[in-house]
Chain A
């Protein structure tokens, strides 16, 4: 995969809207900012599709992996956006790094830990915060912000 992908994940209460630009994106930040909720919504959509009550708009398939299933799932996908939550210690392993290196997927990894095995840019480390763009709507709009932006 190459290029930038715009992703929208939403239900009736909450909407996430963000761009993924590189093959590895890191999400970190305060507790209760919605990181795990985003992951759970994508996970539910993977299991139930539109019956989940969740809508995902993305040119590429968004999937989730966990510590138990990651290698089986990644063997079957080479053109997807893969989300991994912080409860998957495998993200620190050399095995996982090798798999990513030889994969066409983009990866969005939720973690506060540094991952020295993975070649990610400091520009692609994001937090999640509420957007000010849609302040009058009932739905909460969340967007990514660059944690270490110098501009």
Chain B
């Protein structure tokens, strides 16, 4: 399940930095990772360490967006807590998808626009929310 802790938090990791200095090239071969990259960055995996960006041309993994780098870290390192504030609203559905596969906890310092069909454990309140309205009621108390 996806766990969210809203607001300032100690010992939370910054996804883009973690990714740039710690990514494993094998992660890029994962079809789920490739789907996230194609959807968020509109960028296609070409093999090896090369992606084809419609804006930047051929790019290395370090040039992927901070949002998708953070999604990959959350997916690949579920034991660590990352700051999902690096992820825009277009990453929301992928956070939910990751939460269907793994138990992950993320920190969030803004009100991300999730789709209404969600299943999130809000750490601050100790409750599970299953609609965007319930999520919103929890989030506004902290961000």
Contacts and interface: CB of A to CB of B under 8 A. Distances in A.
A51 interface: no
Which of B43, B66, B68 has most chain A Cβ within 10 Å?
B66
A86 B86 contact: yes
Nearest to B112: A112
Contact of A87 (B17, B57, B109): B17
Contact of A31 (B14, B56, B87, B109): B87
A102 to B, nearest CB: 26
Contact of A113 (B14, B40, B109): B109
A75 interface: no
A112 B109 contact: yes
Interface in B34-70: 40-43, 54-57, 65-68
Contacts, number: 55
A149 B130 CA distance: 30
Interface in A86-136: 86-87, 112-114
Interface stretch (B25-33, B74-82, B88-96, B120-128): B88-96
Interface string B126-143: 000000000000000001
Contacts of B17: 87
Contact of B90 (A13, A32, A113, A140): A32
Interface string A54-98: 000000000000000000000000000000001100000000000
Which of B55, B67, B85 has most chain A Cβ within 10 Å?
B55
Interface residues of A, number: 17
B94 to A, nearest CB: 10
A136 to B, nearest CB: 16
Interface in A25-59: 28-34, 36-37
24 contacts: A13-B56, A13-B57, A29-B88, A30-B67, A31-B40, A31-B41, A31-B87, A31-B88, A31-B90, A32-B90, A36-B65, A36-B66, A86-B66, A87-B14, A87-B16, A87-B17, A112-B85, A112-B88, A112-B109, A113-B109, A113-B110, A113-B143, A114-B143, A140-B54
Interface of B: 14, 16-17, 40-43, 54-57, 65-68, 85-91, 109-110, 143
